[in-house]
Structures are given as C-alpha cells and as structure tokens.
A = this chain, B = another copy of it.
Amino acid sequence: MATSAHGRRLDLDGEIDRRLARSGQRWTRGRHAVVDAMKRSVAPMSVTELQAIVGDAVPLSSLYRIISDLVDAKVFIKLEFAEGFARFELDEELAAHHHHLVCHACGVVADLELGDLEVTLDTTAAAIVRTTGFVAQSHRLDFFGLCRNCVSIAS
C-alpha cells in the first residue's frame, strides 16, 4: 500500500470516501468537521476534546452518533486508556501503524512509531497461533511513564 514518507497513507480522503460509501454513509457537514479535526490531531482524541474543536454546531448526541458511525465504517478506531472515557483515532490502515506514550503525570498521550520491533511483534503473533490457538489479527502496545516535560518538572 502506498504511504508517504512519514507513513500516512496517500489518498487519505479518497479512502475515507470509499469507506463511508461502503458503509452507506453520507458526507454531511458534521462528519466533515469531525473527520477534519481528527486528521489534524497528533494524538487520540476524546469526545469532549472533539466537541471543543467542532463547537456547538454539532450537538453532543450527534457527535457521539457520528463518531460511532465512523467507527462502524472503519474510519476511526476506539481506544481506552483507563481514564473513564473513550478516545478515538484514525483507523490503522488510514494512518501509520504506531503505538502510544502515556504520561502518568499530565495524562498526555503521544504517538510513537516503532521500526524493527514491529517485525518482532508480528513474528510473536504468528507464534501465538501455534502455541495457544489464538489467531492474532492486530496488536496494541502502549508505554506508560513520564513525558519529557513532566520529567523536567519532577527533577
């Protein structure tokens, strides 16, 4: 699959179009606002954060419904980080495969792209099938600790 230098899929908009169409969904004002906000984000976003960006033009119940529809259409994926609410980001195939750095102090969630370790993880997935019978289709790896900023404050 064609990807740009930093890993994001080329023709992102076209692929999103295709996924919405496949799911029988229409390009409405609200969906444009939500998808645009997510495309500009550098980290997974909560519903509240998205609401702050799209504003009152999209009521909260519609926002939830739009996000849910986008997850159904495989445009967004849902994540939870034990915060008591969900976060969302672009589907893995629409962005570069990556992992997360979660700061225990300030709560910020940053993206992290691994290189060679991915191969190891894929190899591990294959081994899991043989030993447990579980067929791994995807994985998620998060690191927890202190971000650069909070480390400097603490020291």
Contacts and interface: CB of A to CB of B under 8 A. Distances in A.
Task: Indicate the member of A134, A137, A144 with the most B CB atoms within 10 Å.
Answer: A134
Contact of A112 (B128, B138, B146): B128
| Copies of the chain in the assembly | 2
Nearest to A87: B82
A139 B135 contact: no
A71 to B, nearest CB: 10
A142 B142 CA distance: 9
Interface string A121-143: 10011001000111111111111
A63 to B, nearest CB: 17
16 contacts: A80-B83, A84-B86, A101-B128, A112-B128, A112-B132, A117-B121, A120-B120, A133-B151, A134-B143, A134-B147, A136-B143, A136-B144, A139-B141, A139-B144, A140-B144, A141-B142
Given A112-B128, A140-B144, A141-B142, 17 more contacts: A80-B83, A82-B86, A101-B136, A112-B134, A114-B124, A120-B120, A125-B143, A133-B147, A134-B143, A134-B147, A134-B148, A134-B151, A136-B144, A137-B146, A139-B143, A140-B142, A141-B141
